[in-house]
Amino acid sequence: MLVAKKIVLLGTGGTIAGTSAVAGANTGYIAAQISVEDLVKAVPALAEAAPGGLVCEQIAQIDSKDMAHSIWLKLARHCEKHLADPDVQGVVITHGTDTLEETAWFLQQVLNPAKPVVLCSAMRPATALVPDGPQNLLDSVIVAGEPTASGVLCVAAGEIHGAREVSKQHPLRLNAFSSGDIGPLGWVEGARVRWTRDVPPEPPVASSSARLVEALPEPDLWPQVEIVMSHAGVSGAFVRVLTAQGVDGIVVAATGNGTVHEALEKALEAAEQEGVLVRVASRCAEGQLLGEPDARWASANGLSPVKARISLMLDLIDDDLASGEEGEVGVD
């Protein structure tokens, strides 16, 4: 007989743990007020969804707008430890919605997990008249316990999204997350998971990326990578300031299919001559930038600007580790 495995629940705060002094209010609340253990106590159905038991750990207690690299590294280390435990089926992370897509992509890049790591969130605080957090938490635990699930996932409003495509597209509605024209990977219906076309997503390709967690330097040594936007009337001044400050990389949120204003282009060319690595993503919410073979700078391979920033930062860390200069990562 198969023995049910544990689900690990890591708390970081967010709206799902938020409260308001105004009874029933959906806005004007304070995020990250309730512990992850108390969130679990408020959803009795979790006992049935996780027959092997839930293990709760409070990693941080913040509004996700204030997410920091140090918390990312702490999360990655905790996830790696639990995912290596044969008695653990999956991991759920309670998280604010504002930077959830960035945390998801970071964890996917450094963990590449064969087991599911599910980011759970809410658009309404726990004290709302009809909070969405309890159902999202239950759905997330169901997905974390699904044998066919793998990789870093986002579960909200009954939808399952992948780390690469997911983004927050609305500031208020309950189904705020979207995977654009790709669509969700699946749905949680009752107590079961239904994958798109009833076919589970391909598991992550085996790689050595999981070893990156141990090799990552402390966050104050990570490269500085910033995002600039190409827009009508842009001057390039921000690029010049960043270059003077010793930034390591710049991601351009370009218009359309990677087009960059001529003034910004000149500033980026000057930055590149100073050793700044440039990568181009698109401002467009849907579709993917189709990089041209003769493009001035490398494209972000379809990633959004915020995710392209993470990938560029990790690429720079990898380069320094490979050259044996990990002690100098991100140092001017």
Start-to-end CA distance of the chain, whole Å, equals: 58
**Which position has the higher pLDDT, 270 or 321?**
270
Check residue 179 and give its pLDDT.
97
Q: Are 328 and 320 in contact (CB under 8 A)?
A: yes
Question: Is the confidence at residue 123, as pLDDT, over 90?
Answer: yes
CA distances from 7 to 50, 97, 142, 144, 235 (A): 7, 22, 10, 7, 51
Least confident of 26-40, 189-203, 227-241: 189-203
CA distances from 166 to 181, 224, 275, 299, 320 (A): 11, 24, 32, 19, 29
Question: Is the confidence at residue 115, as pLDDT, over 70?
Answer: yes
Question: Active-site residue 196, yes or no?
Answer: no
Check residue 52 and give its pLDDT.
97
Query: How many angstroms from the chain centroid is the CA of residue 158?
Result: 18
Mean pLDDT for the stretch of residues 77-93? 97
Cα distance between residue 17 and residue 256, in whole Å:
38
CA dihedral 248, 253, 255, 256 (to 10 degrees): 110
Mean pLDDT for the stretch of residues 218-246? 97
**Which position has the higher pLDDT, 294 or 241?**
241
Cα distance between residue 83 and residue 152, in whole Å:
12
213: region left, alpha or beta (phi > 0 left; psi from -120 to 50 alpha): alpha
Check residue 211 and give its pLDDT.
52
Check residue 326 and give its pLDDT.
43
Q: Are 250 and 268 in contact (CB under 8 A)?
A: yes
CA distances from 287 to 104, 107, 193, 225, 308 (A): 20, 23, 26, 24, 15
Q: Are 60 and 14 in contact (CB under 8 A)?
A: no
The two structure tokens encoding residue 222: 């990570």
**Count of positions (residues) in the chain:** 332
Check residue 303 and give its pLDDT.
96
Mean pLDDT for the stretch of residues 34-44? 98
Looking at residue 196, its amino acid is T
- In the numeric block, the tokens 């690469």 are attached to 164
**Residues 239-269: pLDDT tens digits?**
999 999 999 999 999 999 999 999 999 999 9
Q: Are 124 and 203 in contact (CB under 8 A)?
A: no
Q: Are 89 and 95 in contact (CB under 8 A)?
A: no
Check residue 204 and give its pLDDT.
67
Residue 1: band (very low, low, confident or very high) from pLDDT cuts 50, 70, 90: low
Q: Count how many Cα atoms sit within 13 Å of the Cα of residue 185 in the half-sphere of its side chain.
A: 23
Question: Is the confidence at residue 327, as pLDDT, over 70?
Answer: no
**Residues 136-153: pLDDT tens digits?**
999 999 999 999 999 999
Check residue 77 and give its pLDDT.
97
Question: Using CA of residue 94, residue 100, residue 104, residue 110, what is the dihedral sign?
Answer: negative
Check residue 162 and give its pLDDT.
97
Check residue 12 and give its pLDDT.
98
Question: Is the confidence at residue 119, as pLDDT, over 60?
Answer: yes
Mean pLDDT for the stretch of residues 185-200? 94
Check 15, 94, 97, 127 and give the catalytic one.
Answer: 15
Question: Is the confidence at residue 7, as pLDDT, over 70?
Answer: yes
The mean pLDDT value of the chain amounts to 93
Cα distance between residue 91 and residue 153, in whole Å:
10
Q: Are 151 and 79 in contact (CB under 8 A)?
A: no
- In the numeric block, the tokens 């309730």 are attached to 34
Cα distance between residue 95 and residue 134, in whole Å:
13
Check residue 19 and give its pLDDT.
98
Least confident of 102-116, 291-305, 313-327: 313-327
Question: Is the confidence at residue 330, as pLDDT, over 50?
Answer: no
Percentage of the residues of the chain whose pLDDT score is greater than 90: 86
